[in-house]
Amino acid sequence: MVKEQINQTIDKILANIEKVMIGKRDVAELSLVALLAEGHVLLEDVPGVGKTMMVRALAKSVNANFRRIQFTPDLLPSDVTGVSIYNPKEMDFEFRPGPLMGNIILADEINRTSPKTQSALLEGMEEASVTIDGVTHKLQKPFFVMATQNPIEYEGTYPLPEAQLDRFLLKMKMGYPEHHEEIEVLDRAQRVPPIEELNPVIDLEGLRILQNQIKDVFVDDTMKRYIVDIVNQTRVHGSVYLGASPRGSIALMKAAQGYAFMYDRDYVLPDDIQYLAPFVLSHRLILKSQAKFEGITAEEVVDQIIARVPVPVQRLVK
């Protein structure tokens, strides 16, 4: 796919999402970055700010097989992955796939269900496969999970374990709309819901081509060292009990490649890394109790680290 086509496709996808989500361009861009970089997204915010609409608009834009899993306290792992049922006619077990067998999965209110059911997503998110009764079933590609959760302070929620949080490429918040934006939301709600009027911009084969092209975005050795320097600082920061793992370094590099690609560049800049680091690393940090008591957040820690780590400068050799 040539550059002009790529730019038009990306602009049309973002325009599609903006028909549904007013004033959330940054969230739309980051969601698209995660999809292109073959990662997953965790959206955390209060109910009613449009988390579900975001992923539905993205799925419609790429003409993907969209599946929704509504997580509840009584949901079982087999309700997510699927189950083998005995067929007396064939005298054999046959596999009936669960809602995880799709292209774009909305894991709605993921922290409303038990840790056992939450863990049913782990293999699928990391290996793009699920194992049921000893048989491994490959998931369709592309495979993208966008999970939503209410703030963990809400009653009746189960905080996601660290191993599961680490599988999400990005974590972000939607936030409330501005006053004038909310008025526009009301105006649109009087008519046909915008989500019903969205048309696909690209098919799955085209999306797979874009995902492969992102891997060719150049990451200079200085940029790789910069990423590793930032991640290493999360492991020695005074407020952090447990820092980001090497998976965090890989995630930051992939996200930076996706972000550069979206902005029509075939190379990664320090600005890309600095912008994405809070979204990629914050949810991977475990803060010390004292830091939590003092009201320090993981995002603030990442901001401090970015300010502290020297930005690489490429010198021209004459």
Give per-residue pLDDT as tens, 35-90: 999 999 999 877 777 788 888 889 999 988 889 999 988 898 888 888 888 788 77
Look at residue 30 in the predicted model and tell me its pLDDT.
Answer: 94
pLDDT for residue 157 is more than 80: no
Provide the 10 A C-beta neighbour count for residue 5: 13
Contact 149, 52 (CB under 8 A): no
* Residue 147 shares a structural domain with residue 230: no
pLDDT at 239 over 90: yes
Stretch 105-130: mean pLDDT: 85
| Full domain range(s) for residue 169 | 3-71+104-110+139-212
222 and 192 together in one domain: no
* Residues 36 and 146 both lie in one domain: yes
Q: Specify whether 260 is located in the same domain as 225.
A: yes
Angle of helix 270-281 versus helix 221-236 axis, rounded to 10 = 30
235/158 same-domain check: no
Does residue 271 lie in a domain region? yes
Q: For residues 177 and 185, is the Cβ–Cβ distance under 8 A?
A: yes
166-222 pLDDT tens trace: 999 999 988 888 888 888 888 877 776 778 778 899 999 999 999 999 999 999 999
Helix-then-strand count for the chain, H and E: 14, 11
Per DSSP, what are the bridge partners of residue 86? 93
Neighbours of 132 (CB within 10 A): 18
Residue 40 lies in a domain: yes
Residue 312 three-state SS: coil
Q: How many structural domains compose the chain?
A: 2
314 pLDDT band (50/70/90 cuts)?
Answer: low
Of 212, 245, 273, which residue constitutes the final position of a domain? 212
> Is 278 within a domain?
yes
Same domain? For 154 and 293 the reply is no
Helix (H, G, I), strand (E, B) or coil at 253: helix
